[in-house]
Amino acid sequence: MMKKVLIFLSLLMPLAASAVEPARPVSRTAIASIVSEFRRYDGVEVVKLGRLATGALKGVAGLAGISDPDTREALKMIEGLRGVTVVEYEDAPSDIRYRMDRRIERALQKCELLMETKADDGMMRMFGSVDDAGTVRDFVIYAPDSSTLICLFGKMSMDVLKKAMAE
């Protein structure tokens, strides 16, 4: 009997694997929609840097810290960034926080989860797309317990990102 069950399960495995929807990249459009919808509420703080501001930041950081090893490491991390969005909504009314959390969770639901950490102060999830060369595209950090969303749009090296997260 056990042999029949194992054979049956081994036949179903390829079908189950093909039925699973592959992870999709983070949708910049979905994130932008959430940010534009909720930024008008009291208690929702948004900092958004587009391509131009991100380029200027890289230029200033490059000129300011050529000899500083920490600055050089930070420059490696932001080299391929095209935009940064930070949303903090901890001071928003509870109904707004609830609605934002639901919208963010829906937007990230089928995205590739790179890592999830749990600590005393809450949970943090990190999303993004990783290619074979070890490049992360559109890295998103979502911390629902602290009502924070950080989006780094563009690309960066997974090694540099791991090093930054370790520190």
pLDDT block averages, 10 residues each, the chain of length 167: 43 44 75 94 90 71 65 68 90 96 94 87 87 84 94 80 64
DSSP state of 145: G
- Give me the helices (H) in 45-93, please: 51-64, 69-78
Separation of alpha carbons 20 and 52, rounded Å: 39
Confidence at residue 58, expressed as pLDDT on a 0 to 100 scale: 65
Neighbours of 107 (CB within 10 A): 20
As a whole number of angstroms, the distance between CA 104 and CA 87 comes to: 11
Domain spans in the chain, listed from the N-terminal domain onward? 23-166
pLDDT at position 122 is 85
In this prediction the pTM is: 0.75
Q: Are 138 and 28 in contact (CB under 8 A)?
A: yes
